[in-house]
Amino acid sequence: MNDERRNPAAGPRASDGVSSLLASFAVSDSFYALDASTVQEVIRVPSLTRVPHAPPSVLGIINLRGRIVTVLDAAIVLGHEKSALGRDSRIFVVEDRGEFIGLLVDRVADVIEYDPSAANAVPANVPREQACFYRGIHLVNGRAIALLNAEQMLSAALAGVAVQQPTTRAAA
Chain residues that interact with another protein, rule: CB under 8 A: 47, 49-58, 61-63, 65-70, 72, 76-77, 79, 82, 99, 101, 129, 154, 156-164, 166-172
Measured from the CB atom, is 10 or 105 closer to another protein? Answer: 105
Q: What is the smallest separation between the CB atom of 145 and another protein, expressed in angstroms?
A: 22
Measured from the CB atom, is 21 or 64 closer to another protein? Answer: 64
Burial class (CB in 10 A: 0-12, 13-18, 19+), 116: middle
Tell me if residue 154 falls in helix, strand or coil.
helix
Q: What is the smallest separation between the CB atom of 31 and another protein, expressed in angstroms?
A: 20
Q: DSSP label at 82? A: P
Q: What is the smallest separation between the CB atom of 103 and another protein, expressed in angstroms?
A: 12
| Cα 153 to Cα 78: distance, rounded to the nearest angstrom | 8
Q: DSSP label at 165? A: P
| Cα 128 to Cα 143: distance, rounded to the nearest angstrom | 23
Measured from the CB atom, is 17 or 98 closer to another protein? Answer: 98
Q: What is the smallest separation between the CB atom of 39 and another protein, expressed in angstroms?
A: 17
